[in-house]
Amino acid sequence: MHFCDIASLALNELYFNVYINGHLATENLDLSDITRMLASPYYADFVVNANELGVISVSIAPSNLSSPERMNAILNGLEIMKMNNSMGSFNGKISVASILRSRARGNNGVGVCSLAIISLLVAAFVVMHRRNAVAQDSVGWSPLPLDASEGNLKYKNQSALRKFLFF
């Protein structure tokens, strides 16, 4: 709530009460006593719950300390902010446990999707690794036998080598 006594001509003339939801929130409020001057702003914060309909009632009324000729009250501004709870919910009727349960269910889907993606990546890695291993082990096409020693090539397969080289 925002208060500023711009109506009084002297200090300690304006006393009033503030009520929130029908309950006395501040009694005998004298702005000049708090600020020590006239026309000086004063801010007061109150935390309350709305009723079942979501309604907050704010009212001001003159105090019993006010003189009969100066009975008045002043409220310059009112800010109402809806606060959320520690779980980020703006609805006070929803329990924290139900929010945790709903978030846990959502995390299960994320976990299953993450596991599926990781499995696909591992499978792709294994396939690529096997292809590289097969490519490194295989030798390109050769007219020479792979199990023949050098001595065998010189004496036993020279005719096959000549046929291949000279057509």
SS3 130: helix
Question: For the chain, what is the radius of gyration of the CA atoms?
Answer: 44
pLDDT tens, residue by residue, 147-164: 555 555 554 555 555 555
pLDDT tens, residue by residue, 76-110: 999 988 877 666 666 665 555 665 665 555 566 77
Q: pTM of this prediction?
A: 0.51
Q: Please, what is the average pLDDT of the chain?
A: 78
Q: What is the mean pLDDT of residues 130-146?
A: 64
Interatomic CA distance for residues 10 and 6, integer angstroms: 10
Closest CA to 59 of 84, 104, 29, 90: 29
Contacts of 25 (CB under 8 A, 6+ apart): 18, 19, 46
Q: How confident is the model at residue 167 (pLDDT cuts 50, 70, 90)?
A: very low
pLDDT tens, residue by residue, 17-37: 999 999 999 999 999 999 999
